[in-house]
Structure 1
Amino acid sequence: MELRSEISNGAPGSSSAGVGRLEENSDQSWKRIWKLPCPTKLQMFVWRIRHESLALCTNLERKGVKLKQSKCFFYGRAVEDGGHLFIRYKVVKEVWQELWLEKERIQLEGITGAHTMLDSVWEMDVNNRVMISTLWWQWWNIRNKVREEELTVSAAELVRRIRSSTIECAQIFQSEPKETRVGKWQPPSHDELKVNLDGAFTPDSSFGGWGVVVRDSDGQIIAARAGRQEHTQDAFQAELNAMGAAVALAADLGVLRVIFETDPQLLADAMDLQKVDSTPYAIVIEDIKFQLKLWFAKHSVRACSRNVNSVANELAHIGSTCLPNDCMQWENNVPPSVAECAFGDLPKHR
């Protein structure tokens, strides 16, 4: 991706900057691309960014292709290079902000070369790597539709798609790092309860499952629910369904001090009371935040690894088998598969 129109040989904005170093690169950055936990098509897109082979107007002109115009297809004034298209254009800025990646965007905005930029991205959390790569890929597709004068989607809809894709990538492609596999569920303090929750969604389906479990400081199950929600569009909505069910269960139990634990960092971020959401799920998110403030004297929403969230994950899969818009509830007589997951988490079995 060309961030500036620098034509000198080997400069960050020229294709020759990447081609000559493809085999010589000692930092293994090329191998990192193929290890990115995402679909192959997204890996290929990131490879094209690294190789500076996207058909940006400035890239095409540098290669001698004559264009009727080389300006931004959105804005019509600025030269279309990678920095403008993916980082500086006002609408794409809104997308970065809605994804709570403004700090990362500002960090990348000051970088002039594609190689240095991707090195900076690779220093970030793996979920941010996938989210930023997905953002660029989705935005590139929208740019191509604008070029062909086709209908596009709103920034809010784009944010929804990016969040959903990031969660799906984590569920399908991302294995737990070895150093975190030994992690166990941590019990709350004696005056609190912990609620673990998870959503389950299969692409191309029209429903999602959810699972919620409440446990005390000894790791004992106080209550559990699992259900199926129809008209679920994506993985992020399935996680929101689980969060809503978790709040409802904790409120029904009369809990005052509670910790909610979920494996998608995106959901934990969405529950931040200091942040305002404007995606298509904004109404649902703000309603859950209101319920959190209404029912609990003290609460927190934390992200954990999927390995730690195994009980809720198993319940979510059970929920997927329920009747449409129905749920099941247990006190301590949970299904054997759920009991096995919880048994392995008890302090004496660590």
Structure 2
Amino acid sequence: MEALQLELTNCSNAKKVVEKLLATDDEQQLWAVLLLNNWWHERNQVKEGERRRSPDDIALLCGRQAIEIKNLHSLPTAEPRARTRKSKWERPPIGMLKLNVDGAFRESDKNGGWGYVIRDESGDAIQSGSGRVPFASNPLHMELIACVEGVKATTALGISNVILETDAQQAVWAIQGDDFRLAVVGGLVHDLKDLIAEIFTTLSANYVPRDCNKVAHELASLGSRSHDLAPSMLAGVSECISFLVSSDLADMVE
């Protein structure tokens, strides 16, 4: 995207901008059009006296819009009455562990929470953690903190082959690409990538629906409500959310 941004900046008129956009691939076209549209909308809002949003907030908005548009093109073509198959958490392959992470963020007071759970090939939770961040920047900030805390935990356990799952698509993009290196969370992304490169033999980061990330989601929620700023780490998971682990295991045998 940075290369495209530079090329568009060098365009001398609107016609050349359109021509340049039409010459790019579909993914970059979509992101560029959404970004230009949201920039224009933001400019008009600020002129009318509205509070200016951060670049990260606009990037998050573009990401959500891109996902919604892509989903419109991938709707099932089965019979209208056909039942949609529910997404389920899946066990990792033999010899690997699965790390599910999630973040929570409340805009009104910038309170954030994070959570992770590490599970083995049987689906059993071998460790979980959660915590609160009182001055978070935005949702992506908390998602990335959850990734960092989960990766650190797997490192402490001596684990080198891991599947990381999150229901935040932008967190996956941040790990896999370079689009966020100049964002507010750029330093956090850099530290996370360095940690992954230094420690892990295999670590794949994947986006999954919320139904496949229920345990980590609840842990992040618990973390955001904690009165103690010290992180909480447990062997397994706390009793209050153990039913979610059992629910995942039950779903796999249906």
TM range (shorter): 0.7 to 0.9
- Cα drift, residue 296 of structure 1: 1.2
AA paired with 2:25? K
Match for 2:220 among 305, 308, 316? 316
Aligned residue number for residue 80 of structure 2: none
When the two chains are superposed, the root-mean-square deviation of aligned CA atoms in Å is 3.6
TM-score by length of 1: 0.56
Whether 1:78 aligns to 2:13 is: yes
How far apart are the structure 1 equivalents of 2:39 and 2:211?
32
- Cα drift, residue 290 of structure 1: 0.3
| Distance 1:106-1:276 versus aligned 2 partners, 3 A rule | closer
- Cα drift, residue 136 of structure 1: 4.1
Match for 1:140 among 21, 40, 54? 40
Q: Which has the higher strand share?
A: 2
- Cα drift, residue 248 of structure 1: 1.0
Aligned residue number for residue 340 of structure 1: 243
Match for 1:103 among 22, 25, 29? 25
Aligned residue number for residue 20 of structure 1: none
| Distance 1:342-1:106 versus aligned 2 partners, 3 A rule | closer
Q: Flag structure 1 segments of 5+ consecutive residues without an equivalent.
A: 1-73, 94-101, 109-127
How far apart are the structure 1 equivalents of 2:229 and 2:120?
28
| Distance 1:346-1:140 versus aligned 2 partners, 3 A rule | same
Whether the 8 Å contact between 2:103 and 2:146 is mirrored in structure 1 is yes
Deviation by residue 1:216-249 (Cα, 9 ceiling, x = unmatched): 0000000000111122011111111111111111
Match for 1:207 among 86, 90, 111? 111
Q: How does 1:117-266 map to 2 (within 5 A)?
A: 133=34, 135-144=35-44, 157-158=54-55, 160-165=56-61, 179=84, 182-266=86-170
How far apart are the structure 2 equivalents of 1:209 and 1:276?
21
How far apart are the structure 2 equivalents of 1:88 and 1:230?
46
| Distance 1:274-1:142 versus aligned 2 partners, 3 A rule | closer
**SS state of the match for residue 293, structure 1?**
helix
- Cα drift, residue 276 of structure 1: 6.8
How far apart are the structure 2 equivalents of 1:161 and 1:275?
14
How far apart are the structure 2 equivalents of 1:221 and 1:146?
48
Bigger relative CO (Cα 8 Å, ≥ 6 apart):
2
How far apart are the structure 2 equivalents of 1:165 and 1:190?
38
Whether the 8 Å contact between 1:259 and 1:300 is mirrored in structure 2 is yes
How far apart are the structure 1 equivalents of 2:223 and 2:63?
19
| Distance 1:285-1:219 versus aligned 2 partners, 3 A rule | same
- Cα drift, residue 132 of structure 1: 5.8
How many equivalent residue pairs? Answer: 227
TM-score by length of 2: 0.75
